[in-house]
């Protein structure tokens, strides 16, 4: 069924000038843009968004990284959106990401890995609604 996922081009991807190329790859892969904006997360935003990771050793580093500069946030729509988007971006660690994936092409490390993709339909809804009001979703 047609459904949605949520993505962010992370601060490293924006800083390194990859916004246009990444959006092109998303478009070419057949995703429709439901919502899109450039924004910057506060520390409180990042702590809430990544609350599921708050016991992990890398949590502080993750919050620091995700708040250091602007991101591009987007809701995307396509058949099988969550799974197909995770295929498009590749493994969390760019060293393990398949050839041609967004992380293989644009990520620099497991922490600074260029893009986020929701891991379930339920989280896609939660994460999309975290960043966008209903009236911003088309
Ligand atoms: P993502 O899967 O989008 O959301 C959780 C993030 O935590 C993940 O991307 C990485 O950016 C980050 N992360 C996961 N594992 C590590 C790690 N070992 N060290 C630093 N950051 C990590």
Report the domain count for the chain.
1
**Predicted interface score ipTM higher than 0.90:** yes
pLDDT tens across the length of the chain (138 residues) = 569 999 999 999 999 999 999 999 999 999 999 999 999 999 999 999 999 999 999 999 999 999 999 999 999 999 999 999 999 999 999 999 999 999 999 999 999 999 999 999 999 999 999 999 999 999
Please indicate, yes or no, if residue 23 is contained in any of the structural domains.
yes
Q: The pTM is what?
A: 0.97
Please indicate, yes or no, if residue 54 is contained in any of the structural domains.
no
Please indicate, yes or no, if residue 106 is contained in any of the structural domains.
yes
Distance 36 CA to ligand 1 centre (A): 23
* Domain that residue 36 falls in: 2-41+71-136
Residues with CB under 6 A from ligand 1: 53, 58, 61-62, 92, 110-111, 113, 116
Please indicate, yes or no, if residue 60 is contained in any of the structural domains.
no
Catalytic residue among 18, 53, 116, 131: 116
Please indicate, yes or no, if residue 99 is contained in any of the structural domains.
yes
Please indicate, yes or no, if residue 46 is contained in any of the structural domains.
no
**Contact of 2 with 65, CB cutoff 8 Å:** no
**CATH number of the domain where residue 127 is located:** 3.30.70.141
**Contact of 24 with 49, CB cutoff 8 Å:** no
């Amino acid at each position: 069924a047609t459904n949605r996922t949520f993505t962010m081009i992370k601060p490293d991807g924006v800083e390194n000038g990859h916004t246009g190329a990444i959006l092109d790859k998303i478009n070419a892969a057949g995703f429709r843009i439901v919502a899109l904006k450039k924004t910057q997360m506060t520390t409180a935003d990042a702590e809430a968004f990544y609350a599921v990771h708050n016991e992990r050793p890398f949590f502080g580093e993750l919050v620091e990284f995700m708040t250091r500069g602007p991101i591009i946030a987007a809701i995307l729509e396509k058949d099988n959106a969550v799974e197909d988007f995770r295929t498009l971006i590749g493994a969390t660690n760019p060293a393990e990401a398949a050839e041609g994936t967004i992380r293989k092409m644009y990520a620099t490390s497991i922490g600074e890995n260029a893009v986020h993709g929701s891991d379930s339909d339920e989280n896609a809804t939660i994460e999309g609604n975290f960043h966008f009001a209903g009236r911003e979703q088309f």
